[in-house]
Amino acid sequence: MLTPKFEVKQDEKHIIVTVFAPYARISDSEINIDEDTFTFYSSPYYLRLTFSGKLTDSELERYSAKFDADLGAFVIQCEKQVPGEHFTNLDMLTTLLAPQGASSIKKPLIEVVGGENNGTGDDEEEENDFDWFLEQKLPDENVVTAGHKYGFANKDTGVFTALQSELKGVIDVSDPDNKSAVARRKERIDCERGVFDEDHYLADYFEMDTVREYLEFIPEFYSITSDEVKLDEADKEDLLKLPRKEHLLDKGSKSIVYLGLVDILYSWCYNHRITLGENCPESAWNIAKLSATLSWLDSFTHLKDVVISCMSRSLIFPLIRNWQLSNEVLKDTIQVLSLGRKKVLHCLLEIQRQFNDSEPRYLLNQLYITDYCTWIQTVKDEKLISLADSLKKVNVTKKDVGLDLDDLEAAAHLVLEEESANSPVDNMNNLATQMGDMTIIENGAALGVNENEFDENVDTLNNQRRSNLVHISDSDTTSSDSDSDDDSDDDTDTSDSSDEDSSEDSDQDDSTSDSSDLDSDDDTLSESEES
């Protein structure tokens, strides 16, 4: 049987289910409503939904159904048992499809029963008391029986043992099945510091014109509220393909999952900003590479560690590496989380499509993204808003990322200052600027400066010209001595520097006149100094 595409809406008194079944046999359609369960059958389609509230049973025949030929869809209007009751999770299609109480994890053989809350109150209290800044310890791994774990909530092991050929194109860590989470993290940090490119970072630090376009870009999710977030058609189709299961996580696993979500969303936000909201062929690489969770199978235990990893990797691997840009991406991540699970779900579904189109990164969907898409539909918006508020309080400095950025920037500024101070062109430009501020009148006096300052400026300019001429004369003398060793003339006056300069090139007849001109200029300067 096929699961049809469907939509669910509600008003004060009704739940409206639209089932798109263009190839259905209308005459054989069946609808059954039993409190919170809605069932639709019309060969070859079958749909079963479980709602958070109760509907009026179909036996009372208070529902209506019609077939819209233009849409190729059945529109079924069901009556609520309690008018005005708000049904939740109507956009979370995978949750609606999951049978009540379904689970993907084997239940314990022994279960404690009884008590007023029947176990539900403790879960809510645990959620409310969750401390984002409390560092969680990873559980000890029994390598003999289970092997080293990774993936969503650290549930997978031994995946890459049989996929060695796919390993390099998916992750950066080598032989993950034989390395613990601690070993993987140490290797990751060593690798990051080893490949950090100082020149690339400084280029993006000083050339702000390259970065400005991305800093000024305002993503569309800043202009909407959580109530205005909508899932597009591609999202709805992908939701129908997700597995119908529920993830039962303990407190330690929840911490790892939430912190990994921050890491993955940061990489999505970076790609979204750097592509100006339009994905490109490198989007899958950007997302996978920036996320330590995806590329190194890392499991974070503290919120600040996540931010440090995100910031440092954004300065090491992508095309644009700028501290201000990294901070803007962090703000984007906070905004996405504050919009609630529907926006987060949209981001995760988009990542899933990117990885499916970029082999062999589809393996990352099986390890992480698909489970995240299923799990996030059960998370309360308040939980994500609390996580966003905690992220706002995290303060990460350049010193924290461990790349010596402050020293690197200070050394670069010092080099630039020295080069600027030693540049003769800058000295001449400064002198020309001072001379340009003067006003010359007919008798040669200068207005705006005193005579001593004017004479000092003129002497400085003449000395610089004379030093340049002497430098040229010396170089000509050296050249002429080497070229005219075999053609020396005893009648040549060696005390006359103009004659020495005239022998610069015996094959050029114009050299003598050029040297004479230089000597005449030198003599003129000497006479002016004596006077």
pLDDT digits (tens, 9 = 90+) for 347-395: 999 999 999 998 889 899 999 999 999 999 999 999 999 999 999 999 9
The pLDDT value recorded for residue 72 is: 87
| Sole residue written with tokens 């796919």 | 166
Q: What is the CA radius of gyration of the chain?
A: 38
Q: Which two tokens stand for residue 454?
A: 């004017």
SS3 content of the chain, % helix, strand, coil (to 5): 50, 10, 40
The pLDDT value recorded for residue 423 is: 62
Q: Model confidence over 168-184: pLDDT tens digits? A: 778 999 888 889 999 99
The pLDDT value recorded for residue 156 is: 87
| Sole residue written with tokens 């080598």 | 174
Q: Which two tokens stand for residue 293?
A: 């969770």
Q: Which two tokens stand for residue 331?
A: 């703000």
Instruction: Sort residue 153 into left (φ over 0), alpha (ψ -120 to 50) or beta.
Output: left
Could you count the other beta carbons within 10 Å of the beta carbon of residue 294? 25
The pLDDT value recorded for residue 93 is: 86
How far apart are the C-alpha atoms of 344 and 266, rounded to whole Å?
11
Q: What phi and psi values does residue 520 have, to the nearest 5 degrees?
A: -65, -35
The closest of 215, 260, 286 to 376, measured between CA atoms, is 260
The pLDDT value recorded for residue 132 is: 55
Calculate the alpha carbon distances from 191 to 33, 79, 91, 399, 498 in Å: 58, 60, 42, 18, 65
Give yes or no for a cis peptide into 44 (omega within 30° of 0).
Answer: yes
The pLDDT value recorded for residue 441 is: 47
pLDDT in tens, the chain (531 residues): 688 889 999 999 999 999 998 888 787 889 999 989 999 998 888 899 999 899 998 888 888 999 888 888 999 999 999 999 999 888 888 888 876 544 433 333 333 333 444 333 445 444 555 555 555 454 444 443 346 889 999 988 888 876 777 777 789 998 888 899 999 999 999 999 999 999 999 999 999 998 999 999 999 999 999 999 999 999 999 998 888 778 888 888 999 999 999 999 999 999 999 999 999 999 999 999 999 999 999 999 999 999 999 999 999 999 999 999 999 999 999 999 999 999 999 999 999 999 999 888 989 999 999 999 999 999 999 999 999 999 999 999 999 999 999 999 999 999 988 887 776 555 555 544 554 554 444 444 444 444 455 455 546 555 655 555 444 445 444 444 444 444 444 444 444 444 444 444 444 444 444 444 444 444 444 444 443
Q: Which two tokens stand for residue 145?
A: 């029986």
Give yes or no for a cis peptide into 4 (omega within 30° of 0).
Answer: no
Say if residues 72 and 22 touch (Cβ distance below 8 Å). Answer: yes
How far apart are the C-alpha atoms of 219 and 225, rounded to whole Å?
13
Beta carbons within 8 Å of 234's beta carbon, 6+ residues apart? 349, 353
The pLDDT value recorded for residue 169 is: 78
Q: Which amino acid is at 513?
A: S
Could you count the other beta carbons within 10 Å of the beta carbon of residue 168? 10
Beta carbons within 8 Å of 235's beta carbon, 6+ residues apart? 345, 346, 349
Say if residues 332 and 391 touch (Cβ distance below 8 Å). Answer: no
Say if residues 273 and 328 touch (Cβ distance below 8 Å). Answer: yes
Domains and CATH numbers, the chain: 5-89 (2.60.40.790), 152-410 (no CATH), 438-481+496-530 (no CATH)
How far apart are the C-alpha atoms of 97 and 89, rounded to whole Å?
11
Which letter, b or e, does each residue of 186-206 get, where b requires 16 or more Cβ atoms within 10 Å of its Cβ?
ebbbeebeeebeeeebbebbe
Say if residues 477 and 492 touch (Cβ distance below 8 Å). Answer: no
How far apart are the C-alpha atoms of 170 and 67, rounded to whole Å?
47
Q: Which amino acid is at 348?
A: L
HEC per residue, 427-490: HHHHHHHHHHCCEECCCCCEECCCHHHHHHHHHHHHHHHHHHHHHHHHHHHHHHHHHCCCCCCC
Calculate the alpha carbon distances from 287 to 156, 160, 168, 197, 306 in Å: 21, 21, 16, 20, 15
Beta carbons within 8 Å of 217's beta carbon, 6+ residues apart? 273, 276, 277
| Sole residue written with tokens 């609808």 | 31
Report pTM: 0.68
